[in-house]
Structure 1
Amino acid sequence: MDIQQGPNETLKIYQKRYNDILLTIPEVNNKVAYMAFYCGLAYGKLKKALVLETLLSKDNLTTRVRQYVELEELKNKESKPKDLSDTLRKRGLSKSPRRAPV
């Protein structure tokens, strides 16, 4: 298996591509499946964490990856503004006219 995570590819997309390829191979050995995922994984927190792990089964690897996907998605949600008008108002760029003080 030769699969690489792209430079801007999310962990979720990489995992899906990996799983799609894995499903086409009958009776994949756990060690081969683990090493294929690990070797193709871009350097980051998950790859560093996997260095410390003993060989994981496919199920345990899937669980670990799911945890990191959730963290990645949470980080992305927190970094996006919830409401554009809120962001504009905070930056003093609101389109709504301000009333003059009475």
Structure 2
Amino acid sequence: MKDKAVCESDVMSMSPCCSDPPPPFRVEPDGVRWFRPAVRKYSCELTIDTNTVNKHLKLSDNNRKVTRVEEDQSYPDHPDRFDFRPQLLCRTGLTGRCYW
């Protein structure tokens, strides 16, 4: 007596097209467009802490873009401002996976 589950031999007799394993599935990269959605799922919105921006970094596009420049920017003095290296901080810390 057969079990209620379908036996492998029954599946093969019902579906002869499945007798050979399917060919391997291949995905070919299509340049940057192919890569971008995979990375985008790890992205998040960042808000710059303007009190930490080094004077050799220029903020633009409503503080969404940062560019390194030679001339000092006229940011007000603040104890949290980076003085020696062109760097800045975000208002909230980053946790989890990190990509640079």
- In terms of fraction of residues, the more helix-rich structure is 1
Note whether the superposition's TM-score is higher than 0.5: no
What's the TM-score once normalised by structure 1's chain length? 0.22
- In terms of fraction of residues, the more strand-rich structure is 2
What's the TM-score once normalised by structure 2's chain length? 0.22
